[in-house]
Amino acid sequence: MNLIPLARTEVDYEARRREIARVVARVWATRGERACTLRAVAAELGTSVTVITRSFSSRAAMMRFTRERLLREWAASTVAAMAAATTPAAKLRALLLEQCPTDEEALADGTLWLQTLAPGQRDEELIAGNRRFNDELVATAEPLLEELGIDRAVAPLLMIAVYGLNAAAIEDPRTWTFTRVERTLDDILRRHGVEDHQPRRADR
């Protein structure tokens, strides 16, 4: 991977921070939080530690930015996926599917986020932000369920199911393949009375 050249503009600077954060997320998910040293991240990017410290004042700042970026990207991808859907059922499915591990990047992100909940790594401010994000997801799902004639109280149950799918895929990715996760989500939706006709992964 080639790091974005040292930037002279704010846009390039932010792009470099995002690229560094993506590498941190991958190393964190595959090798653990302790492996995310400045030297290790620089090596993954094929650059020097100096380049990393020009983007982040410290390792702690780099780690925090990575976790914050994860939430921001989840929110942005959710909005985009829902905007592309055309029916209440499709929008609800898109909302939930974006929270599931359906590709390598999403699986790595989910693994990273679960690791941030470990006692030695808990960041209460970030966890509070995640709770607000989850509350927004539930609040978005509720009117869609209502449009479909389904009890709004099903929304938090669906979110719990999504958490379970993440945990299953992280624990046993060989059994819980991306296709199985997607099919299981569709089965959960059908059992709650939500029918969707979007093409599944296996049909694409």
Measured in whole angstroms, the distance separating CA 80 from the mean position of its chain's CA atoms is: 14
Q: Average pLDDT of 2-19?
A: 64
C-alpha dihedral (156, 152, 143, 190), degrees to nearest 10: 80
Segment 3-18 mean pLDDT: 64
pLDDT at 141: 97
What are the structural domains of the chain? 1-56 (1.10.10), 67-194 (1.10.357.10)
Q: What long-range pairs does 172-179 form, CB within 8 A, spacing at least 24? A: 173/107, 178/101, 178/102, 178/103, 178/107
Asked if residue 6 lies in contact with residue 54, where contact means CB atoms within 8 angstroms, the answer is: yes
- Residue-level pLDDT at 118: 67
Q: What is the pLDDT of residues 65-86, one digit of tens each?
A: 988 888 888 889 999 999 999 9
Find, among 1, 26, 3, the residue nearest to 16 by Cα: 3
pTM of this structure: 0.76
- The alpha carbons of the chain give a radius of gyration, in whole angstroms, of 19
> Percent of the chain beyond pLDDT 70?
86
